[in-house]
């Protein structure tokens, strides 16, 4: 096994049934369908039921990924869950997923890299498979951002949705697999996008609840500027590491935060619209799960084919960013 290149063996995704439309939001805050669509590209998003938790969607997405990969749960060596909305502070949501899947031979760990989480998880998984340490690593990104969204704050509540996406990473035939990763961070920008309370700095209290500090706080314009730069530089860097030119891209799978950020990246790399996967109109920003959900849909719709060169690229809280070049 040592020396075999890691690639994507199968993907899966799961989103809630319940739709929250722009018309619904018009009744909740001072906003309009026109503002939301023009500024973000979002028409609707999916919201989990009150009794559900992040792991419920993670398990559904993972089961589909295992099925697509033809890998049994017992064959998984490690579960990596990327989330900022774990079922609870501890134990790790990855352990809950491991148990529900029946992945009885797997280790389990959560990672927290904001919306870049799937890329961080995939990089770790690929390195472990490349090294011959593990054969099958399940990377599942899952978030119920609705749980930490302030539905009285119109500048953020229109953006976010719930969902999960998963990939089984393991050895693939010659000529396929991950060619390069680019991961980065700049913690000095942490306050552009964060949740102030609930951790050790500001533990939950009546005061933090009253101050609405258990919700996402975001400086939209600062995040926007950072995002446009990060998407471009991470894509350029991962292509350079893979020894490829931008013309080699068959499919760009970007984090779905804002259609204007995605369009800026598309134009910079001179890509036709047919080469960019867009799901933001129907799911909004689903955090770390947006990239694997988009990839899974592209594969299932036949838009992403075996042998295609896909670039996955994202950015998020941290600040963090990442990109992967993968021959599907």
- Catalytic residues, by residue number, are 115, 255, 285
Contacting ligand ACO within 106-145 (CB under 6 A): 114-115
- DSSP tally for the chain: helices H, then strands E: 11, 13
* DSSP conformation letters of 194-231: E--SSSSSS---HHHHHTTTTS-EE-HHHHHHHHHHHH
Closest-CB residue for ligand ACO?
220
CA distance 22 to 255: 21
DSSP state of 282: H
Does position 193 bind ligand ACO by CB under 6 A? yes
Shortest Cβ distance from residue 35 to ligand ACO (Å)?
A: 4
Shortest Cβ distance from residue 267 to ligand ACO (Å)?
A: 17
Shortest Cβ distance from residue 240 to ligand ACO (Å)?
A: 25
- Look-up: residue for tokens 């984090």? 255
Q: How many residues bind ligand ACO (CB under 6 A)?
A: 23
First-to-final CA distance of the chain:
19
* Residue among 4, 5, 19, 31 that touches ligand ACO (CB under 6 A): 31
Contact residues for 180 (Cβ-Cβ < 8 A; gap 6+):
238, 239, 241, 242, 324, 325
Contacting ligand ACO within 207-266 (CB under 6 A): 218, 220-221, 223-224, 227, 257-258
Structure tokens at 172: 């693939």
Shortest Cβ distance from residue 194 to ligand ACO (Å)?
A: 10
* Residue among 4, 19, 33, 35 that touches ligand ACO (CB under 6 A): 35
The footprint of ligand ACO (CB under 6 A) covers 31, 35-36, 39-40, 114-115, 154-155, 158, 193, 218, 220-221, 223-224, 227, 257-258, 285, 287, 316-317
């Amino acid at each position: 096994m040592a020396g075999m290149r890691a690639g994507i063996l199968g993907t899966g995704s799961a989103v809630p049934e319940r739709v929250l439309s722009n018309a619904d939001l018009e009744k909740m805050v001072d906003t309009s369908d026109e503002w939301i669509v023009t500024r973000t590209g979002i028409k609707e998003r999916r919201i989990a039921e009150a009794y559900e938790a992040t792991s419920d969607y993670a398990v559904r997405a993972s089961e589909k990924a295992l099925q697509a990969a033809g890998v049994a749960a017992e064959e998984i060596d490690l579960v990596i869950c990327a989330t900022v909305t774990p079922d609870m502070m501890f134990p790790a949501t990855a352990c809950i997923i491991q148990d529900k899947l029946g992945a009885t031979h797997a280790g389990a760990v959560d990672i927290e890299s904001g919306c870049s989480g799937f890329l961080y998880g995939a990089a770790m998984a690929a390195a472990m498979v490349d090294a011959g340490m593990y054969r099958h690593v399940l990377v599942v990104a899952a978030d119920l951002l609705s749980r930490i969204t302030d539905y009285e704050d119109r500048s953020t509540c229109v953006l976010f949705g719930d969902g999960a996406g998963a990939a089984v990473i393991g050895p693939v035939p010659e000529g396929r697999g991950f060619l390069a990763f680019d991961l980065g961070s700049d913690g000095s920008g942490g306050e552009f996008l964060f949740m102030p309370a609930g951790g050790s700095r500001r533990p939950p209290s009546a005061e933090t609840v009253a101050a609405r500090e258990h919700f996402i706080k975001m400086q939209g314009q600062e995040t926007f500027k950072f995002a446009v730069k990060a998407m471009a530089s991470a894509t350029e860097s991962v292509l350079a590491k893979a020894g490829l030119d931008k013309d080699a891209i068959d499919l760009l799978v970007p984090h779905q935060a804002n259609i204007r950020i995605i369009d800026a990246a598309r134009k910079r790399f001179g890509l036709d619209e047919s080469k960019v996967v867009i799901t933001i109109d129907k799911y909004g920003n689903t955090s770390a799960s947006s990239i694997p959900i988009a990839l899974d849909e592209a594969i299932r719709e036949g838009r992403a084919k075996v042998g295609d060169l896909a670039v996955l690229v994202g950015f998020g809280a941290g600040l963090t960013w990442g990109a992967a070049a993968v021959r599907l």
